[in-house]
Amino acid sequence: MAKSKQKNLGGRPSKYKPEYCDQAIKYFNIEPHFETPVETQKKGVVETKIKFIPADLPTLAGFAKKIGVSKDTLNEWRKVYPKFSVAIKKGKTAQEHILITNALKGGYAPAFSIFFAKNNMGWKDKQEQSVNMTVSPYDNLSDDQLDEVLEKKFGEWQADKKRSKQLLESKQEAING
């Protein structure tokens, strides 16, 4: 019986293995930190304190290194193998949990945590802006209508100026007498 041959599509065969799905989930799904007792001695008194030690943040680059491929290869596999894509999404969720937990406990530097979240998890700064506007009664007037308003206001201003001048002259006459 003749063996059926798979058509060669060109290029080298993929290194992808279905077990990478479980391996990816296992790689990312770690405890965020561990605690260890630390003994210190002051003036003859031994104190035991619990020290918080953050886990190394699992990354796609780290998983790629572990299985001997590049990060670009993982991204290609995510497009081609739906189960692998789901596994990586679950891993990224675990990664986010680890980042938040350790950042809030002071285990990771704040700047690192912020930039990592923005660059790898799609986080963004939320900026709230408020705009206070005064709507002018002149906003919707045409140029001709604005010219009429300006002429009217200019006329009122000239009349006020004339009245002020007359009032000033009458006060000076009263003073001079």
Which tens digits make up the pLDDT trace of 99-117?
Answer: 999 999 999 999 999 999 9
- Using the predicted structure, report yes or no on whether residue 164 has a pLDDT greater than 60: yes
Confidence band, pLDDT 50/70/90 cuts, at residue 9: low
Return the DSSP state at 34. Answer: E
Would you kindly state where each structural domain of the chain is located, as residue ranges? 20-120, 141-177
| Total-model pTM | 0.61
Indicate the burial class of 55 (C-beta count within 10 angstroms; 0-12, 13-18, 19 or more): middle
Q: What does the chain come to in residues? A: 177
Highest mean pLDDT of the ranges 59-68, 118-127, 145-154, 161-170 = 59-68
Q: Which residues contact 100 (CB under 8 A, 6 or more apart)?
A: none
